[in-house]
Amino acid sequence: MAIAEDLAIIHDPETDQAFHVEQHGIDFIPESERWARPRDLFGMWGGASLNIEYFLYGAVLMGFGFTFAQAVSLIVIGNLSYFLLGVCSLQGPDTGTTVFGVNRAGFGPNGSRIIAIFNWASQVGFEIEGLILIVAAGLVLAEEGGLRPGTPAKYGLVIGAVAVQFVLPFLGHATIVKTLRLLILPFVLLFVGLLIFVTRHATTHGVPVGASWQVYFAGLAFTIALSGLGWAENGNDYSRYLPRKSSAKGIVFWVFLGTAVPEILIMILGAATGTWLKNISANYQQAGTVFQKGTNVFQPFFHQSGLPSWFVVLFLVFCILQLFAINSLDLYSSGVTLQAIGVKVKRYQAVAIDSVICLGVTLYVVFNSSFTTYLKDFVDAVIVWIAPWVAIFLTDWILRRYRYVPSELQNTGKSSLYYHKGGIFWPALIAQLFGMAAAMSGLNPTFNVPTWMNPIAAATGSDSFTRADFSIFLGLAVGSLVYVALAYSKVRRQADAQEELLKTEGVL
């Protein structure tokens, strides 16, 4: 079938239609139901990238002590990691399933469940991050409106936010794609308006000396983890609705265009804002809490920015809407990941389970923690597992000559080509453990750990304020190298078996 014909496949309204409940979960998407095109990924990811979170990440970077030029270089280099998201979206059209359906090939059906637990926890963590910001924006709007929300109001705001957040991922893929695409234009206009105000106050020489090379690497790890690397485990959850013969170059191009380009611009705008709104860019190691002692990450927009109140209100209202839409991506992926772990529920039921968990954890963080502390600690936890996993996932894909057998991915029994011994491919799990140990050895966390846990980072400075962070690079390198050393011959033989099966099934 020609690519043009593939792209013209009629969208089946019973399976994945906007504002209808999607019935598919981690199961295989037949060619007849793959309605999307590569450029549809641009609309979805573009809508997700134009948001307040990345603006705040840029402002937080200034709290590391960087000059504006250092921050800009970090933002550009860090966002090149979105190539990883593009490449980690190429398996979906080939296999018709989610990323942790594909992951069964490299780790085995049971081994993949173990890694899926890490991913599920990460997705829930990103959801909580978004909910914290939604509640913070809601509280500051209420306060500026003359209200004084107490503890009951905060509880109500969190519960209401979780309830609203539930809607889009419950409905599913097509609804999320359409909603995010619709949000692009209003956010472009709002950020242009913010840019006009920012240019009056921002300075490019507020920090004359800048941070050391060690802190630069810490900022780079922070930026990479919150950009392409942090989204890499989501790519195939959305690209699986593309026809099998979709252009690989087109997929990578549209994903990168919809993510890296707008995010670079938004983060630079955030960094520029952080040069004069110090309460936003307060050092992440020393920042006050969002909800305690009268501080709120959004309050400087009203009291220190010089922005018209009407613009701030409009901006924060749209930010809340956008955060709900972005959280839907995480909640959708956490739902299908819960299925991959082995929980016997439908996709939309998994979304309900995750929403309840998010509610409990968000309430704890809102009343007992700090947004900036939560953000940095959470990023550290994500880096340790995701860097080696991405390396193993892509190395395995390359060794398999960029192919899988979709029917075998759906077969989790002993008869599956990918079952291995006990449903676990031990070389992959061993490589994951070595990669995580390597990532931890180069990690510079904000919390204190014994130096034997991060000896490489500890050797670069006396404390967490002066140490470098090589965690991502060590995790990627060690995970890939150990996997090649342990699995090369076995995976290549399995790749030959894949070829024969694909020929038998008429795919090749």
pLDDT tens, residue order, the chain (508 aa): 333 333 333 344 445 565 566 666 677 888 888 888 999 999 889 888 888 888 888 888 887 888 889 999 999 999 999 999 999 999 999 999 999 999 999 999 999 999 999 998 888 888 888 888 888 888 888 877 777 777 787 788 888 888 888 877 777 667 877 888 887 888 888 888 888 877 777 777 666 567 888 989 989 998 998 899 989 998 998 899 999 999 999 999 999 999 999 999 999 988 888 777 655 554 433 333 333 334 567 777 766 666 788 888 888 888 888 888 778 888 888 888 888 888 887 877 888 888 888 888 778 777 665 555 556 677 788 889 999 999 999 999 999 999 999 999 999 899 999 998 899 999 999 999 999 999 999 998 866 778 888 999 999 988 777 889 999 999 999 999 999 999 999 999 999 999 988 888 767 6
| Residue 395 belongs to a domain | no
Predicted local confidence at residue 162, as pLDDT: 83
Q: Rounded CA gap, 56 and 384, in Å?
A: 23
Residue-range definition of the domain harbouring residue 69 = 38-383
Predicted local confidence at residue 176, as pLDDT: 79
| Residue 476 belongs to a domain | no
| Residue 504 belongs to a domain | no
Q: Rounded CA gap, 498 and 201, in Å?
A: 60
Predicted local confidence at residue 348, as pLDDT: 76
For 217-343, strand residue ranges (E) read none
* C-alpha 318, offset from chain centre: 21
Q: Could you give the number of structural domains in the chain? A: 1
Q: Please give the full DSSP string across 201-248, using - where no structure is assigned.
A: T--S-SSSS---HHHHHHHHHHHHHTTHHHHGGGHHHHHTTS-TT--H
- The two structure tokens encoding residue 441: 């050895």
* Contact criterion met (CB below 8 Å) for 241 and 16: yes
Q: Rounded CA gap, 81 and 286, in Å?
A: 28
Contacts for 17 with CB less than 8 Å, ≥ 6 apart: 11, 174
Q: Rounded CA gap, 166 and 349, in Å?
A: 11
Question: Count of H helices and E strands in the chain?
Answer: 24, 0
Q: Specify which residues 421 forms β-bridges with.
A: 424
- The two structure tokens encoding residue 229: 């690397």
| Residue 373 belongs to a domain | yes
For 268-283, letters b (16+ CB in 10 Å) and e give: bbbbbbbbbbebbbbe
Taking the model in full, what pTM does it have? 0.85
| Residue 256 belongs to a domain | yes
CATH of the domain at 227: 1.10.4160.10
Q: Rounded CA gap, 487 and 156, in Å?
A: 52
Q: Rounded CA gap, 485 and 363, in Å?
A: 45
Question: Looking at the chain, how many residues does it have?
Answer: 508
Residue the block writes with tokens 């039921």: 349
Contacts for 410 with CB less than 8 Å, ≥ 6 apart: 27, 28, 97, 101
Q: Rounded CA gap, 206 and 227, in Å?
A: 26
| Residue 92 belongs to a domain | yes
Other residues' Cβ atoms within 10 Å of the Cβ of residue 205: 9
| Residue 10 belongs to a domain | no
| Residue 95 belongs to a domain | yes
